[in-house]
Amino acid sequence: MCGIAGLMLRNSGAIGKKLVGMLDGLQHRGPDSTGFALYRQPAADRMVMRILLKCSAETHEGKSRASKVLQILRGFGVEVLSDSYTQEHYRLEIAPVPAVKDLSYAVENQAGVEILSFGSALEIIKDVGSSLDISKRYGIEAFTGTHCIGHVRLATESIVDASRAHPFWAYGFSDVAIVHNGQITNYWKMKRRLQKTGYQFRTDNDSELIAVYLADKLDRGFSLEEVLARSVDELDGTFSFLVSTADGFGFAKDHLAAKPMVVLEKDDMVAIASEEVALNRLFPGESLDTYEPFPGAYKTWQLSTLAMSA
């Protein structure tokens, strides 16, 4: 029960600031927590890992967890380029690694922390509070990049905390993230199926399932578009969700279409939100040429083609 928003720009721009505004426009749909998945041009020489320490980095326990993370990374032979923290959030820049999933499981299982995102383009920042609060706390507005997705949450079943805030990183797969508004009713069935193939889940939130489900399909070699097409038939319930990868972006909407979504496509950008009011935050005072996708609809955009079409 929430609001979702996403934005892709042909040319890198102030996506942080724009997304903060869009989510502020949707905050009435979800006062509990807010989150941002922000993408810049993928770097060839570094990856960013964002970690939730689950206690302040200034405490003894926080410091011990952070040093444990560094120790595990060293154990994997990973070069740490830099690290920094804000409250419970620990950010590391490291030299690129191939085994994202193995490294991630090792860090989480051994250090008692949670990885919020990992990739060469993606950073996820999410916490309890409003869009404007979190922006101030973590400096979201300063972020420039190519695309982003975001979420405001009104918790209905699982508890309110940073772990269960959206976006969800598709755990183990670099640069894939989702935000979701709705409810997946075959959650337990799908979760058990994925667990049998070796995936671990960190929350009881059905949106995490979507992230892992999509990532698993991408890993099997399906295109983003094919994955979304399948999701509309294989996931049961009412949902509208957005998915983003290092260079792509898309939405899917269930057959009941009980969850709202409005799309704005322009030559140099695509913007999607639960309500048009968020799109108007990008273009105050303008009448926008938007459309509402039909039930069972899905669509993807690639950064490269968005650039070419201009």
Q: Name the residues that contact another protein, by CB under 8 A.
A: 1-3, 28-32, 154-157, 160, 181-183, 238, 257-260, 262, 274-277, 279-281, 284-292, 294-295
Q: Closest CB to another protein among 221 and 285?
A: 285
Q: Residue 276 and residue 64: Cα distance in Å, rounded? A: 46
Which sequence positions are flagged as catalytic?
2
- Six token digits for residue 172: 């183990």
Contact between 33 and 168 (Cβ < 8 Å): no
Shortest approach of another protein to residue 140 CB, angstroms? 22
Q: Closest CB to another protein among 6 and 145?
A: 6
Which one, of 135, 44, 138, 132, lies nearest residue 90 by Cα? 138
Burial class (CB in 10 A: 0-12, 13-18, 19+), 107: buried
Buried b (16+ CB within 10 A) or exposed e, 124-133: bbbbbbbbbe
Q: Closest CB to another protein among 294 and 308?
A: 294
Shortest approach of another protein to residue 191 CB, angstroms? 20
Shortest approach of another protein to residue 254 CB, angstroms? 12
Q: Closest CB to another protein among 102 and 292?
A: 292
| Beta carbons within 10 angstroms of residue 137's beta carbon | 14
Shortest approach of another protein to residue 154 CB, angstroms? 5
